[in-house]
Amino acid sequence: MRSHAEHAAVVAELVLPLLEDLALRAPELIPIDDRALSGRVAAHDIAAALALPPFDNSQMDGYAVRTADFTGAPPFALTVGPTAAAGDPPFMCPPGVACPVMTGAAVPFGADAVIPIEQADPPRFGRLHRPTGTPLPLASPEETVAFAEAPSAGAFVRAQGSDHRPGAPLLRAGTRLRPTSIGLLASAGISTVPVRLRPRVLLLSTGDEVTAPGEPLGPGRIYDANAPMLAAALREAGADVTTRRVADRPEALRACIEAAGTHDLLVTSGGISAGAFEVVRDAFGGDSDAAHSTGDISFTGIAMQPGGPQGAGSIVVDGRRLVTLCFPGNPVSSAISAELFLLPLLRAYAGAPAHGERSTAVLAHDADSPEHKHQVRRGRFLDDGTVALTPPSSHLLADLARAELLAHIPIGVAHLAAGSPIEIQRFDV
């Protein structure tokens, strides 16, 4: 029987080459303001096409001045010149003149400092005139403004290129685009962003009892929890997911895969344990008489609970190799299989934060575990910081959905007493 770590290595060996291949393919180009961009991954290094700010501009509403005009004793009186508002093209501020300037406006040529309006006398703007356009409420030529202190050169001027210069690296290949990185790229004049292709996952939920949402529930049947749950988890990890429900007939399963088009990865739920009708096992396990798909999948018992039965390998569909992972049908088992084996690989490809780091907490109560299996329990933090576990059964979806953490009880441990240290990891799938 494989350990869960050995199975994780088998899955990584199957999935990583396909992700590496995807990273090398021609990127998808997404417009900068497309809602689909956030969370995608830069396909290559992206450099700034222009400087930011693109021109010297004012950090304050105030007066643009020449520091050379501040000679002699205060107060320093200057003639009020034309006004610079944000969006105006820059103009010349002559010697002896203070030009009203608004935040974000280009600092007029010749001026080398800005004095905030609060530090001017009077501390408010008078009649302003703009250098171009009409109407022009002209300032009287005699209008003056006085300042008590001389500014230092560069005061309240946001220098061209002080954020970044043309050619500066903005985003490294493999970086996940977050809203702030999208803002940065937009400011640098980038209108479309090359992003890595997402892995396309075909997710098959198997079982005659499994019922689609919204359909009436017949006797002996249950609603499909796994397809919506796994699809959501895979999408959060950056995958492009197509979902299908398949009845317990191997030929229906194979036909469904062949009709589904091109995918990089096949994930199945259910139909792999020891029953008489194990559709996934029957479709792929040794029986290769299918018209187009042939299987090379090993179905293995893993020394873990839940998630004991697993399948991993690849099938060939229309001449194309499709990496295939088969998760057990119990909802808790399939969620934990995804969390331990597949999602960390997808999150790393998508540049998303990892969830798998382990830390040690204190167990709030006694707990039992099958000694020959690695048990993965679900739990929550209590107010005193200790960890309470929920029961181990793999049908307990309500506990799973409320869980804050997974707790690991290793092989060889049959009992943990209250107060024992226990290894945990974050869980918010």
Which residues make up the interface to ligand MOO (CB under 6 A)? 305-308, 328, 330, 333, 394
For residue 227, give the DSSP letter.
Answer: H
The 3-state DSSP class for residue 251 equals helix
Residue 203 CB, nearest approach to ligand LQZAQKY5 (Å): 10
Q: Which tokens in the block code for residue 237? A: 């990890």
Identify what 270 binds: ligand MOO, ligand LQZAQKY5, none; CB under 5 to 8 Å per kind.
ligand LQZAQKY5
Nearer to ligand MOO, 19 or 335 (CB): 335
Q: Which tokens in the block code for residue 372? A: 């020959």
Nearer to ligand LQZAQKY5, 330 or 375 (CB): 330
Binding site for ligand LQZAQKY5 (CB under 6 A): 205, 207, 209-210, 222, 224-227, 269-275, 278, 306, 308-309, 328-331, 333, 394
Residue 351 CB, nearest approach to ligand LQZAQKY5 (Å): 30
Q: Which run of H or of E encompasses 297?
A: strand 294-301
Identify what 278 binds: ligand MOO, ligand LQZAQKY5, none; CB under 5 to 8 Å per kind.
ligand LQZAQKY5
**Residue nearest to ligand LQZAQKY5 according to CB distances in the complex:** 329
CA distance 338 to 325: 9
Residue 271 CB, nearest approach to ligand MOO (Å): 13
DSSP conformation letters of 136-179: --PPPTT-EEEESSPPPTTTTEE-TTSSB-TT-EEE-TTPBP-H
Residue 331 CB, nearest approach to ligand LQZAQKY5 (Å): 5
Identify what 271 binds: ligand MOO, ligand LQZAQKY5, none; CB under 5 to 8 Å per kind.
ligand LQZAQKY5
Residue 165 CB, nearest approach to ligand MOO (Å): 56
Classify residue 258 by burial, with Cβ atoms within 10 Å: 0-12, 13-18, 19+: middle
Spell out a b/e string for 151-182, using b for 16 or more CB atoms within 10 Å of the CB, else e: beeebbbbebbebbeeeeebbeebebbeeebb
CA dihedral of 155, 157, 163, 168, whole degrees rounded to 10: -110
Nearer to ligand LQZAQKY5, 59 or 273 (CB): 273
Sign of CA dihedral 146, 152, 158, 160: positive
CA distance 406 to 159: 51
Nearer to ligand LQZAQKY5, 112 or 278 (CB): 278
How far CA 24 is from CA of 17, 39, 171, 197, 293, in Å, comes to 11, 19, 17, 9, 27
Nearer to ligand MOO, 295 or 308 (CB): 308
Nearer to ligand MOO, 39 or 370 (CB): 370
Nearer to ligand LQZAQKY5, 181 or 226 (CB): 226
Would you report the helix, strand and coil content of the chain in percent, each value rounded to 5? Answer: 20, 30, 50
Identify what 205 binds: ligand LQZAQKY5, ligand MOO, none; CB under 5 to 8 Å per kind.
ligand LQZAQKY5
Nearer to ligand LQZAQKY5, 254 or 373 (CB): 373
Residue 378 CB, nearest approach to ligand MOO (Å): 12
